[in-house]
Amino acid sequence: MRWVGCQVCDGVVEEPEVPDGGSAVCGRCGALLFRRRRRTVEITFALMVAAAILFAVANAYPFLAFEMQGQVTHTTLGSGVQALWEQGSRAVAGLVLFTTILSPASEILLLLYVLAPLHFGAPAPGAVVAMRWVSRLKPWSMMEVFLIGILVAVVKLADMAEIVPGVALWAFAVLIPILAGAAAFLDTELVWRRLGEPA
């Protein structure tokens, strides 16, 4: 048996069974206790598939092309990290690698690993551990900060060089709202419940 607290009247009530898409109200004061999102697993899973494709594109294709005195330089996410490393900014290179590549990649893969089997019925082995890591990694995914940094740099460099936005930049620009949408849409409480763990 599970208990939930009412945020309005402070009453503690036995958690009612609520189907997906339904909501539970407090028996004492009638306030909304919680809502179960409809098809949260399916929709978040679909968003994560889109995110995985966009993430692959964002890493495989150039971000920006600079043209300066007839010379064209393409920058990818990886080459940016490499350049930082070679210039001696190793800590920054490591941080960029972790916050813009490793952490979001792990988050997307782990969520796919958790959600895909749930969508088809039974949880995957180790899904509980994977789900814990998803919440641990979340604060470390900072692609949007990186994107803003890129845009600031582009504005500053615009006078010095011809700048052509690359495919990866567009992929990134679409990826960020998709990840934000998935985070907003994922009912973690429901996922934990389906995994058979208390949230």
* Footprint of Zn ion (CB under 5 A): 6, 8-9, 11, 26, 28-29, 31
- The closest alpha carbon to 92, from 101, 81, 77, 76, belongs to 81
Report, in Å, the least distance between residue 8 CB and Zn ion: 5
Between 12 and 155, CB nearer to Zn ion: 12
CB of 30 to Zn ion, least distance (A): 7
* Shortest reach from residue 3's CB to Zn ion, in Å: 13
CB 16 → Zn ion: shortest distance, Å? 13
- Output 8 or 148, the one with its CB closest to Zn ion: 8
Q: Which is nearer to Zn ion, 35 or 74 (CB)?
A: 35
6 or 48, CB closer to Zn ion?
6
CA atoms within 13 A on the CB side of 30: 0
CB burial readout 90-110, b (16+ within 10 A) else e: eeebeebbbbbbebbbbbbeb
List, as one string, the DSSP characters of 2-34: -EEE-TTT--EEEPPP--TT-EEE-TTT--EEE
